[in-house]
Structure 1
């Protein structure tokens, strides 16, 4: 057994590795079917309607523009979108953090490190400062804001959170992904913006991470230990997913290249093999796959290239169906569903996988 395998074996049986001890999610109180959204915005273009209705999404949580006197939805300025990002982001962030701490049997007073992730608005100070004030977390809490990295950012941030937890055994770290995607929408009738508007939903997800101190008792419910992380950036596809400023609209506008599913799919196998390199484990040894709900074509491309069954990505497709693409927090919604199933056994192994701008694939290896 090599040194890496020995280290992983020790992490699985000992207390050297940070573990996820709680998870919580939140979505807006207002949700819409795709048909309802088409009606809300009086969309009759058959091409746009096809994009909305053929993506396997049934319902999404969104905060739509206010109605005008004639009953139609108004057009929000960039300033109004930013206010939406802050107000609704704080509301969802608070709910997900509180749900996460309840799941972890912890309190706000236990939080020593807070990491906030978002790509749907740019504010200073960031969500960490705002949530610390909103929730009454200690003013001495360490914090990190991860901004603008996109759908992959949840695992980028979890790498940092895991490192902090590993360096501070027994102390609680919380990561919260806050994505108000409806604060990043442009309604100009183009196919570019219609694809984005048909896909993303609002949501927040939080996880509590802790490295057990030597006197910690064994838990009855298995918790995933964060064993290893890997990244794969695809520089030749750096412009495939991007956030641009639209001078005509006076707003930011998100762009998704239609080739993205195939680019991500083509690099999925390389990324997974690199993650497992040196562990002695193969992809067939992975019991649980928690994959970002990037869209039907993205999920299908990843599934085919990794040789996964539809059953293995059931939570990924379920989250897409019920919430749309929730950007950085999507994979945590899938993880919440896995927890709720109560099917994980001690000794199981799993892979978290997120994809986003860069173009980038992030992965984490976990063991229960």
Structure 2
């Protein structure tokens, strides 16, 4: 794969207006709550090398130079002699269902608590996952298991990969704006422990060194035009930051020349799916990051220097570095991204929401601040969103 891929003209995607909303129109969707959850057990990279008795110096180097200190994983059961049992694809699908339902329910409840809501307030549920296929989908199973109203509108986004959280956020925000006053919840639930092939090849070692289990949920609501109180733009400086940011617009870019750089293949020798990552993908993503980010900002009349907060998918050390260099960002700009990678690994579609939660906990977002959300994944795809507190 050649990192410098040929440029093609893009057709700008319309972004929601950044200034005061016109009268008699719905205000943009606003984030009103966030929650995350992980699985029970976590391991250092050294723990995993020892547990699986990995001695190949090349594989050990991949694990130990990943900028990941610890990940949450659900390892296979052990047999009587202490060795890990080989999980079939059927076993992995059952694990995916169990972990996604458990983590997903906890993330949704935490999100609702953060928003001051309960299960009865959910009007729309969008569930994202790539680590297993379910029919009926995760949304239906969660509605049944959690006791959410069976009249709740729902959609499942399956198989889009690490970028899918922003694809789904775009659709969820659109539903929210079309139903002002109602609550929309987006859940990203990724049981990456259910998507591993355990062998000693370099191909699988890259994947096995990177991903972790995690789920993240975010709640949105759009106020109707006649809602009581001033519009967010009318608030004095510093007021209203804790209400959460408005979603102003989205921009996407599909790198068609790298369509196979991240993919699931069927492994005949293992009788299960195996994920593939092209070693050049960090450089390919980095080379295209400027184009989609600048298109996102141009639509709002902004420059990169106007952005106070950057929340980027924790795709891996090389991916983060490539994005940082190509966008001219500092390590401080991407501190939450690198911290999430360090503490959890790559959490696939929900990674950027773990970074968003950390930004809120830091308490540095102020009313009027702009932020850019960015995810990358199979396609190869870069997704972005512009938000304002």
Q: TM-score range by the shorter chain?
A: over 0.9
Partner of 2:116: 105
- Matching of residue 267 in structure 1 with residue 288 in structure 2: yes
Cα shift at 1:15: 6.2
- Matching of residue 282 in structure 1 with residue 306 in structure 2: no
- Matching of residue 254 in structure 1 with residue 265 in structure 2: no
Partner of 1:10: 20
The superposition leaves residues 114-141 of structure 1 with CA deviations (integer Å, 9 ceiling, x where unpaired) of 0000000011001000000011111110
- Matching of residue 239 in structure 1 with residue 249 in structure 2: no
Cα shift at 1:216: 4.6
Partner of 1:189: 200
2: CA distance between counterparts of 1:126 and 1:78? 18
Cα shift at 1:8: 1.6
Partner of 2:218: 207
The superposition leaves residues 292-330 of structure 1 with CA deviations (integer Å, 9 ceiling, x where unpaired) of 000000000000000000000000000000000000000
Cα shift at 1:74: 1.4
RMSD between superposed Cα atoms in Å: 1.6
Could you tell me which runs of 5 or more consecutive residues in structure 2 were left unpaired when the two chains were aligned. 1-13, 231-239
Partner of 2:6: none
Partner of 1:295: 316
Partner of 2:152: 141
Could you state the TM-score of these two structures normalised by the residue count of structure 1? Answer: 0.97
Q: How many residues align?
A: 365
2: CA distance between counterparts of 1:244 and 1:76? 17
Aligned residue runs from structure 1 range 352-367, under 5 A:
352-367=373-388
Could you tell me which runs of 5 or more consecutive residues in structure 1 were left unpaired when the two chains were aligned. none
- Decide whether the 8 Å contact of 2:17 with 2:300 is kept in 1: no
- Matching of residue 225 in structure 1 with residue 236 in structure 2: no
Cα shift at 1:5: 9.3
- Decide whether the 8 Å contact of 1:237 with 1:359 is kept in 2: yes
Aligned residue runs from structure 1 range 28-67, under 5 A:
28-67=39-78
Equivalent position to 2:358, from 331, 337, 341 = 337
2: CA distance between counterparts of 1:211 and 1:325? 31
Cα shift at 1:226: 0.4
2: CA distance between counterparts of 1:12 and 1:255? 47
* Structure with the higher fraction of residues in helix conformation: 1
Partner of 2:234: none
